[in-house]
Structure 1
Amino acid sequence: MTDAETDTAPAADARPEKPAHLKKGRRAWVKRNGKKLVRKIAGYQAAQSIVPDTPKIDNAHFPWLHIFTDNWETIRDEAKAVLAFRDDIPAFHELSPDQYRLSQAKNWKTFILYGFGQRMETNTKLTPKTADLLANVPNLQTAMFSILAPGYHIPAHKGVTKGILRSHIGLIIPKDREKCRIRVDDTITAWKEGEIFVFDDTYEHEVWNDTDEERVILLFDFDRPMKFGGRLLNKTFLQIMKLTAFYQDPKKNLQSAEDRMEAAIRQADANMEAMSDPAG
């Protein structure tokens, strides 16, 4: 969950008002100065990178990606099982309040499988095979099913750090897939079921689902392959981030979301038992 809202959203998008608790002095100071720090270290991270510093990065640099394309239908089937609990899946901003400009109402839902490198044990009860596949990703940070409502637009924004890369694989894609797409810098890609790609989310990117169908992908973040100095800086940066509200709030909200999902799963199991009980 490295995305951070920026001031790059198109003027045509109505700007939601910032929640009051995000306006507090200390949080605003951390965010303002954090952005300055990120800009200063991005150049060093780029120089330390052992993969190209481009908006999209060729899959050939990540030979382990094939495990996802080889097993994409299994991942899709587990995503479909998750969608049975659609009403209990939180919107992105409900987990990460700082994403209030990107995520509105229930239009962008996120079912977290790994958060900050940690497997979400309750959620992955529904997705054991997908979780096992994700365990093969070197230095995995975050993984989720990203569920985008019909007609929704995620405004232009940039991620937090060049030390992390992002991958998408299409699972449930609208039939008119050319209208369901992502722009990264000046490159536009329409998702396709079973296809995977990697990009650097510190480049400006935005998403459109200009169809009347839901879009579901597996999204995961992992450490950029870098030389020793870059890896050390990235580790230090992420440790510092974990001390801030930008980490602490989502961590707390993730636990609450897992608790709600666990209750929903128990209720569903109880309902199934009641239906199968001949005495009932």
Structure 2
Amino acid sequence: MTAFSQRIRALLSVLNQRHHQFAITQGERFVRSLERRIGRQSAVGDAAFFDCGQFPWIAELEANWQVIRRELDGVLQSVQALPNFQDISADQLSITQDNRWKTYFFYGYGFKAKQNCDRCPETTRLIEQIPAMKTAFFSILLPHKQIGEHRGPYKGLLRYHLGLKVPQPDACRLRVGQQTRHWQEGCSLVFDDTFPHAAWNDSDEIRVVLFVDFVRPMRFPDAVLNRLMIQLIAWSPYVQSGKERVREWEARSTSAAAPVR
């Protein structure tokens, strides 16, 4: 390759990087511009935390939380082998860089982690009944893990937590906006993660919640626009790379578990 060709390739690489960053920046501005409209057209209101009674499907999850907990206990037997959140979602590096936030994925924007789901069949059955569920996983905070303040990328989704393992409720807390709540085993929280939020496990034990993102109920015709935006998010490199990382982890896990012949 000639020196001229090398310079041309280097220039094209810079231009591509700038175009990619420009597209990301413009996309973020557009999404932010939708947030006020989403808040106004939300069928469940616009708040940091929501009344769980607005979501009838929560009752069955709470009634079966111990069923989910039993499957979780099996997963926790090899907790150190589970991926860190940033190993699956690289953009989480801005809020966590250690090995004390573990994840066990079931679903992510249409992608099913079959190996994980097969291992926890009852949990899978229950989360598959959540209307418009987009993401579901066990979120595992090891002792004394803190997650600094951050915000979610899109207001058209809501976040659900079901407490599964909460050793000391007074030491395990979630702040969303100006409100702080404490997880409790068998109890639910629903919140809007586009409010600045942070989480703490100040106990000496592991804290685990079932973590679900689902489509925010919206009035027509904004419900159609909202689902279109979520589909675009599902097609984004951010989500696609996460799916590939889950697949890679499952492949490594299967290989490690295979008997030596």
The answer as to whether partners of 1:91 and 1:109 remain within 8 angstroms in 2 is yes
Query: Equivalents in 2 of 1:69, 1:263: separation in Å?
Result: 35
* Deviation sequence 1:76-128 (CA, Å, 0-9, x none): 11111111232331111111111101222211111101111333211111110
Distance change in 2, residues 1:92/1:119 (3 Å): same
Q: Which position in structure 1 is the counterpart of 2:225?
A: 233
Query: Equivalents in 1 of 2:23, 2:179: separation in Å?
Result: 32
How many residues are paired up? 245
Query: Equivalents in 2 of 1:238, 1:69: separation in Å?
Result: 27
Secondary structure (helix, strand or coil) at the match of 1:159 reads coil
Q: Which position in structure 1 is the counterpart of 2:142?
A: 149
Query: Equivalents in 1 of 2:19, 2:254: separation in Å?
Result: 34
Query: Equivalents in 1 of 2:59, 2:169: separation in Å?
Result: 22
Secondary structure (helix, strand or coil) at the match of 1:122 reads helix
Q: Which position in structure 1 is the counterpart of 2:157?
A: 164
Secondary structure (helix, strand or coil) at the match of 1:80 reads helix
Q: Which position in structure 2 is the counterpart of 1:206?
A: 198
Structure 2: gaps spanning 5 or more residues? 1-16
Structure with the higher helix share, 1 or 2: 2
Distance change in 2, residues 1:148/1:26 (3 Å): farther
Query: Equivalents in 1 of 2:56, 2:238: separation in Å?
Result: 32
Q: Which position in structure 2 is the counterpart of 1:9?
A: none
Percentage identity across paired residues of the two chains: 36
Q: Does 1:122 align with 2:88?
A: no
Q: Which position in structure 1 is the counterpart of 2:71?
A: 78
The 5-angstrom pairing of residues 90-129 of structure 1 reads 90-129=83-122
AA aligned to 1:250 is G
Deviation at 1:239, TM superposition (A): 2.5
Structure 1 segments of 4+ aligned residues over 3 angstroms from their partners: 24-28
Q: Which position in structure 1 is the counterpart of 2:10?
A: none
Q: Which has the larger radius of gyration?
A: 2
Q: Does 1:216 align with 2:187?
A: no
* Deviation sequence 1:24-83 (CA, Å, 0-9, x none): 545533432222112101111112211011000101110110111100011011111111
Query: Equivalents in 2 of 1:75, 1:116: separation in Å?
Result: 21
RMSD: 1.8
Q: Does 1:193 align with 2:202?
A: no
